[in-house]
Chains A and B, each alone.
Chain A
């Protein structure tokens, strides 16, 4: 018998070459005696291999001249030191991760409180808005010109009767819609745009239990989400409009959604 019990932690250590050599044989024996742990270790090993493969080519790419120049002091002036764009992309991915992984974690922990559902809905809606409203050509999957099909498709996939609100009275025309993952399954995102090019999005998902309403923002000049949960719907309107105008548009969207359900 070996001197100690092994745990899942040892799977990671073994994979990363951190398991002391003298424990290796006992570890292998433990794996062979625990098929579930063995399967897990094989999956993790395959994931590590896939990660290495995915990035293997990067180190062999020719180095861009601007990076070599940066070291030898011949760097061309860039607009604003450390003001490069990379962190904008990173931040959007972070927001997306909050939506995606957050939903996953909430699902795992069985968190069903209204407050958690609120935050999750708002985070997901903001993340979707940040990513897709910034898209010029690929913002939506189905354009407004195909509205009937879009409503039927999204209703079916989200599992709710979904009527795209008409917001022309508020100055916004429908651009189209797309299907997104959400904590509870799927969500529909409808994108609208005004004459000045400002965009807002309406995020709708099934929310069987929770009810409530509120406003959610990360702060600063970032987008706000005005949301409601009720009647089986979770709904958020996201945009960077002045608060009064966003609230008005959101109210109008919610009323039409509900009217659509009852019609």
Chain B
């Protein structure tokens, strides 16, 4: 049992990176990781030793992320946020070094959660298409099109923000 727990703890840095890429804000991302760890512990008997803890944990976290995004989007729950918890939203991207990093982190947040997850699993976390498709529970073709669309959308947003920035400079 403690071996398993040690293996889970060993995955926390990677889980945090995935969560940060999905949600941007540090506290929100760590809350997601904590939800994931708590859920994993209730199901630790489902995890066979020998199976990669990484894929198992990433799958759990991804499902938590997508479930919440869908529910929140459908029910407009964000609206019920009390005024004084607004700081969570305002979290500046200062955790992400230079301006180019901040810009791409912001653009990543603006693409759909499904595409974002596919892109992050493959581009940042380095999973193969087969592994990522398996974690996301979609066919490989769907994964590929999410990646292609996600990259196109990301690039369009970055081009757009470059254009806006240039326009602003000209008008000032």
Contacts and interface: CB of A to CB of B under 8 A. Distances in A.
Contact of A66 (B23, B30, B85, B91): B30
A68 B12 contact: yes
Given A59-B14, A81-B38, A136-B83, A47 B76 contact: no
A75 B85 contact: no
Interface stretch (A22-30, A49-57, A144-152, A166-174): A49-57
Interface in A191-226: 197, 199, 217-223
A225 to B, nearest CB: 11
Nearest to B28: A86
Contacts of A219: 74-76
A116 interface: no
Nearest to A93: B109
Interface string B74-92: 1111111101111111110
A218 B124 contact: no
Given A85-B27, A85-B85, A87-B72, A52 B124 contact: yes
Given A59-B14, A71-B8, A101 B68 contact: no
A244 to B, nearest CB: 19
Contacts of B158: 47
Contacts of B12: 63, 67-68, 71
A47 B79 contact: no
B23 A89 contact: yes
Nearest to A198: B83
Interface of B: 5, 8-9, 12-14, 16-17, 20-25, 27-35, 37-38, 41, 64-65, 68-69, 71-81, 83-91, 96-97, 100-102, 104-105, 108-113, 119-120, 122-124, 128-129, 144, 147-148, 151, 153-158, 160, 164
Given A50-B100, A55-B20, A126-B79, 13 more contacts: A70-B34, A72-B5, A87-B32, A89-B91, A91-B69, A93-B23, A95-B76, A101-B112, A101-B157, A134-B85, A135-B86, A181-B164, A222-B76
Interface of A: 8-9, 12-13, 16-18, 43-44, 47-48, 50-55, 57-61, 63-64, 66-68, 70-73, 75, 78, 81-82, 84-98, 100-101, 104, 126, 130-131, 133-136, 138, 181, 197, 199, 217-223, 240
